[in-house]
Amino acid sequence: MAQNASQRRPEQASPASATPASDLVYREVKARILDHRLEGGSLISEGEIATDLKVSRTPVREGFIRLQAEGWMTLYPKRGALIRQAGPNEVRDVIEARIVVESHAVESIAASDRGGEVAAELSELIGHQSEALAAHNDEDFAKIDADFHQCIVARAGNSLFIDFFENLKDRQRRMSTRAIWKSNEQAEAVLAHHRELAELIARDDSALFRERLGAHLHEIHERFLS
């Protein structure tokens, strides 16, 4: 279900936009990392990104420094930037954190008797995700996947967990894109799991939700855990 990367255009500021060029570089290079146009382990240079995005090297360097600070790349003077890979340890850590946070969120939702309301919102997201699959848009599919799980945490209302989960969101998108890349079968499995999780929330079954969430995450990302 891959979208032709060559047909995607980098984010552009409107003529009236005052967005710094370094921010545009940061957003575009990060987007390429998240959707695997820039794969982990690849080496890129300031010059090639500057030429591609039609900016000078200075904003590219600034964007790269920001991406390195967030853990997306490692800079090597006079050599370029190495895109960091999401290894098994990172995948395990993200899965473990998600299970803890999302399960607690569902317990809170059940306690407040809002399971049906939250499940209705999730069903709407599942509909959008199904449309992305039908359109062969893996980028939107992965984004909605992250939105689905973030919605669960957000509706629980714990501001600390919401902020923490927001920090995981980009890593979730990167993992999800890699897991379903060019695989309609895997994408269909994600949708089926999401429908089941939404139904468990509607039923206020937080114990089974935790069990099925763990199974969902391990099944989808299994081949990256070894």
3 state SS of 215: helix
- Give pLDDT, residue 224: 59
All domains of the chain in start order, with CATH = 5-83 (1.10.10.10), 88-224 (1.20.120.530)
What's the CA gap between 37 and 5, in Å, rounded?
A: 7
**Integer Cα distance of 147 and 93 in angstroms:** 19
- pLDDT, residue 225, reads 60
At 87 the pLDDT is 74
What per-residue confidence (pLDDT) applies to 5?
A: 40
pLDDT of residue 195: 98
Task: DSSP for 29-88, please give it.
Answer: HHHHHHTTSS-TT-EE-HHHHHHHHT--HHHHHHHHHHHHHTTSEEEETTTEEEEPP--H
The per-residue pLDDT for 152 is: 97
In degrees and rounded to multiples of 5, residue 167 shows phi and psi of: -70, -25
Tell me the mean pLDDT per 10 residues along the chain, length 226. 45 52 95 88 94 95 95 92 86 92 97 96 97 89 91 96 88 77 81 97 97 93 66
